[in-house]
Chain A
Amino acid sequence: MQAADISHHTSRRFNEDLERVRSKVLAMGGFVEDQLSRSLMSLVDADSSLGRAVARDDYKVNGMEVSIDEDCSRILATRSPAAGDLRMIVATIKTITDLERIGDECEKIGLIAARLATIERPADRYREVKHLGRTVQMLVHDTLDAFARLDADAALKTCRQDRVVDEEYEAIQRQCITFMMEDPRTIRRALDVMWVVRSLERIGDHAKNICEYVIYMVHGKDVRHTSLDHIERELAERAVRQP
């Protein structure tokens, strides 16, 4: 397993440093997951104080990003890691940027939810948005699991899930347009809902990026801006070459 790669270093301190950074990234991920879940809860339950609390807590995500960034720079400067370790550090630096962006999107959702809580909820109580939110939550959860397990296959599978998010996003967009045409009084709410689903869609994209970094970390293959089928073929070939 790749996890074993990290474990045979001459310097035990180095190991511990790497392991600590990984744990910190995942702790940050856990906090972001919590932010996402709370922001969605505040929207669905029309809980404006919860929405504001989410927006207020975003500074913690930013703080974690800065702290992990510092750790990574320190490791790069003092240990000059190579191969797998270097890839891990590089992937970590990119991952936390995306996590921080997810945090920002959660902040936006929280603020909009706090605003939406003051006006009447639609009859379906944001059923579609809730469903999309759940899909995105699963996506972020699976992404972080893949990161924890260094599991490139799971990361690839999660990448594919992003397509589902995009489809649902389109569907809600069309629905909102229909609402607005039917009854102009709902335009204000529909616009806010559009912002929420837009944020959710962006979160899905950030999760997909993290999955790509996981694949890069495990296989040393940059898979950004390539089609998924292409990646899959490449990885399969690689697996044949080195059984």
Chain B
Amino acid sequence: MNFGGWLSLTVRLTVALAIGLVLGLIFGVPWAALALVLAIGLAMQWLHLLRLLRWLQADQTELAPELPGPWGHLVAMIVRLYRRKQFHKQRLLRLLRELRRSTAAMPDGVVVLNPQAEILWFNRTAARLLGFRGKTDFGLRIENLVRQPEFVRYLRGGQFATPVIVRSSAGAEQYLSLQIVPYGAGQLLTLVRDVTREARLEAMRKDFVANASHELRSPLTVIAGYLETLTTDGDIDPALAGPLQEMQRQAQRMTSIVQDLIELSRLESSDAEAAHQPIDVVALMAQLRQDVLARPQHPAQVQIRADSNAMLLGEELQIHSAFANLVENAAKYTPADGSVQIRWWVDEDGGHFSVTDTGIGIASEHIPRLTERFYRVDAGRSRATGGSGLGLAIVKHVLQRHGAQLSIDSQEGRGSTFTCHFPSERLRAAMNVASAVAASVQ
């Protein structure tokens, strides 16, 4: 292996030195001759090095200098390295361009953020939806341009499981859904979608349900009123008694559905947090028990177990309706020889209200969908019991407004437990009864 013309350079230098030495000996100045030869050799190498440096500095790879010996070899090696690098760079660039082109063509907006939430890149759709402009916006914090308070809270909150829906602030009636997806080393991918149509449809649906149920209420009241008069009227043909009673039952059922719909749409119309009125849960439980026992058919045992007398801070009417729905459900689906237990206890996680029954239970595949409106495990059976199909949806909405959660635990054929978990800030220690009495006396 020839070390890049190293050998030829050494040979040439040796020959030049030998010739210099011979000539020096002939003229009687051997050292001066040797020094001269070395100086010339050094100068030549110096020149080559200079040309190499100048070439590298000029950054023009095509015009490679023709250099002898190892210098030429060095130039060739540099050129090869450079070409290889160029080739890889081109390939990467092409790949990157393809990737960007495909993301740019996406119908959804995409914004890439660094961990400080500064904008690294966005596609055309995102620019259109969020009003970003060209490259000047790279490096700006996203919350400085997308300033809606809901989004800023979402970005700081760090809970990115669900998207946030904001109104466009540019004056136009436009709704955007923004979702952040963390990836890589703290990078954030923001997906932007125009949901104006969906938001409008949703608003229309809510309006429609609210209006329709209000409009249905008055005619229903009239029908139910006349049916009541007719069934108690002794002059009616006995053959009609059965149908009349059935009509009355159905009218009652319809009234309860309409009432639930009105209540649900009222709960939906504002997502404000519920008030903080103190509610005496123990008294409420006693009242719920009375209500169940007043039903014509009810489970043999309805027990109350109050492990705490802490007050719950919330909106009394809503909490009453949610708890009543849970207790009624339990009573409805529990046979006459079964039992229902209502329990209220407090631990370090907060307050818990649970209703346990020994009823028919629910198969596990139905549990996640139970709180959907009109969802029925068994259509025939629930109609027979006269439910509106909205009870658990109401419970879910009420709990949401109180910052609480519903957990459902059930085994088919064995019974179910519905538990509401309230956060600690929704609790207040009950006033000592004695001191309360004393206070009222004074």
Contact = CB atoms under 8 A, between A and B. Distances in A.
Nearest to B116: A19
B4 interface: no
Given A135-B171, A138-B171, A145 B143 contact: no
B169 A37 contact: yes
Interface in A138-193: 138, 141, 144-145, 148-149, 151
B171 A27 contact: no
SS class, residues of chain A in contact with chain B: helix
Given A37-B169, A141-B170, A1 B144 contact: no
B147 A27 contact: yes
Contacts, number: 58
B373 interface: no
A33 interface: yes
A97 B295 CA distance: 64
B137 interface: yes
A144 B146 CA distance: 10
Interface in A4-31: 19, 22-23, 26-27, 29-31
B140 A3 contact: yes
Contact of A37 (B136, B141, B145, B167): B167
B144 A148 contact: yes
Contacts of B131: 141, 145
Contacts of B133: 149
A149 B147 contact: no
A30 B149 contact: yes
B144 A134 contact: no
Contact of A23 (B144, B167, B170): B144
A177 to B, nearest CB: 27
Given A137-B171, A141-B170, A141-B171, A34 B140 contact: no
22 contacts: A3-B140, A23-B143, A26-B143, A26-B147, A27-B152, A29-B147, A30-B149, A30-B152, A34-B148, A34-B149, A34-B169, A37-B167, A49-B270, A133-B171, A134-B171, A137-B169, A141-B131, A141-B171, A144-B147, A148-B140, A149-B133, A149-B136
Interface of B: 131, 133, 136-137, 139-141, 143-145, 147-149, 152, 167, 169-172, 270
